[in-house]
Amino acid sequence: MTAVARAWSRLTLPGKVVFTLIPLLAVLTSGLIAAIVLFGGPVVEVLNANLGVVRFVAAATIILVITIPIAFLNIYLEMKVIALMNLRIGPDRVGPWGTALSVVHGLKVLMKEDFTPSGADPVVFTWAPVVTYAAAVLTIVVLPFAPGLYGQDFNIGLLYFFAMGGLGVVGLLMGGWASFNKYSLLGGLRSAAQIISYEIPLTLSVVGLLILAGTMSLNTIVEQQDGWFANWYVFRQPLAFVIFFIAATAEANRTPFDLTEADSEIVAGFATEYSGMRFGFFFFAEYVNVFILSALTVVLFLGGWNAPFEIDPLLDWIGGVLPGLGITTPVTVALDPGGLGLPLLFLILLVPPLGTLLFAAPFYLLRSSMRWWVALIIGFLLFNVVAGGLVMAWAYVSFEWVAGLLWFLGKTFVFVFVFVWMRGTLPRVRIDQLMGFAWKWLLPAALLNLFVTAFAVVLVRS
């Protein structure tokens, strides 16, 4: 016994960790194998029978994970873009161009004290950010990111989206009520009034589009907009697009409609008493909401994953004019790495060093002051950029979903930028102006849009 204890005490800390983990891992692995052997068949059968549920759960899990980088990216964009608009430098310390700062913000929020004020209702106070965040996350399930890349294709996708998006206000109201603070209460009431008022023009503005599309499935709506950008719904429903975007700004509680957290009036609104990760969830939900509403605008009005142009007719035309080029459409890149056999290994081993040397050579040869290792580093980075670009181009041509995802994210982040731009430029409206704008202008405009669309559809079809 003493020998074992002596041996244990001689181990370093990593050694202790490894020696503890090895038997644990062995036991768990064998247990898992045994479980798969014993119960694998029935489990697979059950999963097969409920494939829809499994798919939904998997999608929800993946989406929960991808919201975090989306929120980080939005936070970084907001910090940097507003800084540049203010003629400041903005984040530039953590990571290249300060890109890691939002991660550090996340860690900071995690490490802060999670404080519950005395007098608050602890249960409601704790669950409020959960509800808000869950509402934001659940809406992503129906968003079509690319052909075949979506959580679930409901035939009531849009309805589901609005239903889930409307849940977020429940969390804000819970937070405002449970905080036992008058600023929070006013913020919660403001958010309830604002979001309920703006849900109506938001939903009504889309009804005209639904009449044209004839479906609520977001996938189908995107598929209807393929081809040239003239097919996008924004050109058939321009008024609806404007109303939708304004109402979406209010839905996401963004400037100029950020009355729920108006810092110069009610300090931080519903989030006044929150700290730590509970505040972080509110914060995350806001940025995820910005992304989601931008994405929905893109999906409904700007063609979703579709490229704004068709490359094939253009290539056909070039092929017709210059037959010598031998262009055939659709363009495919025939790459079959497996066909190379054993030389493939040599290729994988040789291309990176050779490429690095190739890109490093001009720097080393043309500049006498260049150290060889500096040239090698530059060459390596350049090689990576070029190789990455080539791989991306190959993926773009070969996989439909890569191209779709690129276009979708590109368009979406244009709208995220517009949200940030408005935040940098505009002051905040007053609560009576906010409500008056929704009920006196947006709602009649949405009804007018619906009426005109319906009338035109009836005229065209008869």
Partner 1 sequence: MTTTDHRRPSADDPRVLLDEQVGMYEPVPPYPPRTEREAEFYTLGDGQLLINIGPHHPATHGVMRVVMKLSGETIVDLDPVLGYLHRGVEKLCENADLHQTIAYLDPLEYVSSLFCEWPAVMAYEKLLDVEVPRRAEYIRVLTGELNRVSSHLLAMGFHALDLGGLTPILYSFIERDEIVEMLASITGQRMLFNYFRIGGVNGDLNHEFMSRLGDWMSRATEQIEANVGLLNENEIFVRRNRGVGVMDPELAIKMCWTGPNLRASGVPFDIRRAHPYSVYPELDFDIPTRLEGDSLARYLLRVDEVKQSLRIIDQCLHQMPDGPVMAKLPRLLRPRPGRAFAAVEGPRGEYAIYAVSDGTDQPFRFRIHDPSFLHLQSFGRLVPGKLIADWMTVNASLDPIMGGIDK
Torsion of CA 156, 158, 161, 166, to 10 degrees: -110
Please tell me whether residue 418 binds partner 1 under the rule CB under 8 A: no
Task: Determine, following the binding rule CB under 8 A, whether residue 100 of this chain makes contact with partner 1.
Answer: no
> Which one of the spans 101-109, 145-153, 385-393, 420-428 is the region binding partner 1 (CB under 8 A)?
420-428
Q: Is 426 in the site for partner 1 (CB under 8 A)?
A: yes
By CB under 8 A, tell whether 87 contacts partner 1.
yes
For residue 412, the minimal CB distance to partner 1 (Å) is 24
Please tell me whether the peptide bond between 256 and the residue prior to it is cis, using omega within 30 degrees of 0.
yes
Considering the rule CB under 8 A, would residue 186 count as an interface residue with partner 1? yes
State which residue, 256 or 319, has the beta carbon closest to partner 1.
Answer: 256
- Would the CA dihedral through 298, 301, 304, 306 be positive or negative? negative
Q: Does 88 bind partner 1 (CB under 8 A)?
A: yes
* Tokens coding 141: 């399930």
Is the CB of 162 or the CB of 245 nearer to partner 1?
245
Which of 138/259 has CB closer to partner 1? 259
Report the nearest approach of partner 1 to the CB of residue 272 (Å).
11
Choose the binding region for partner 1 from 20-28, 259-267, 299-307, 398-406 (rule: CB under 8 A). Answer: 259-267
Residue recorded with tokens 């408005």: 422
183 binds partner 1 (CB under 8 A): yes
Is residue 80 within the footprint of partner 1 (CB under 8 A)? no
User: Which residues make Cβ contacts (< 8 Å) with residue 348, sequence separation at least 6?
Assistant: none
Please check whether residue 225 is in contact with residue 231, taking contact to mean a CB–CB distance below 8 angstroms: yes
Nearest distance from residue 45's CB to partner 1, in Å?
Answer: 51
**Residue 424 binds partner 1 (CB under 8 A):** yes
Site for partner 1 (CB under 8 A): which residue of 166, 256, 276, 319?
256
Instruction: Identify which of residues 147 and 187 has a Cβ nearer to partner 1 in the complex.
Output: 187
CB 144 within 8 A of CB 150: yes
Residue with Cβ nearer partner 1 (178 or 296) = 178
Residue 260: CB minimum distance to partner 1, A:
12
Instruction: Compute the least distance from the CB of residue 121 to partner 1, in Å.
Output: 11
How many residues line the site for partner 1 (CB under 8 A)?
Answer: 34
Q: Is 286 in the site for partner 1 (CB under 8 A)?
A: no
113 is an interface residue for partner 1 by CB under 8 A: no
218 makes contact with partner 1 (CB under 8 A): no
Does 315 engage in binding with partner 1 (CB under 8 A)? no
Tell me how far, at minimum, the Cβ of 297 lies from partner 1, in Å. 22
Q: Tell me whether residue 128 or residue 295 sits nearer to partner 1 (CB atom).
A: 128
Burial of 194 (C-beta count, 10 Å sphere; 0-12/13-18/19+): buried
What are the structure tokens assigned to 265, written together? 């009036």
Stretch that binds partner 1, among 83-91, 98-106, 197-205, 335-343 (CB under 8 A): 83-91
Residues in the chain: 462
CA distance 124 to 138: 20
End-to-end CA distance of the chain: 94
Instruction: Pick the closer one to partner 1 by CB: 375 or 420.
Output: 420
Region from 98-106, 280-288, 348-356, 418-426 binding partner 1, contact rule CB under 8 A: 418-426
Decide if residue 196 touches partner 1 (CB under 8 A): no
Told to check if 55 binds partner 1 by CB under 8 A, we report no
Interactions with partner 1, residue window 122-181 (CB under 8 A): 180-181
Question: CB of 428: closest distance to partner 1 in angstroms?
Answer: 3
Q: Which is nearer to partner 1, 194 or 219 (CB)?
A: 194
Instruction: Tell me which of 178, 195, 429, 445 binds partner 1, using CB under 8 A.
Output: 429
**Which residues make up the interface to partner 1 (CB under 8 A)?**
82, 85-88, 116, 118-119, 180-183, 186, 190, 255-256, 258, 262-267, 423-433
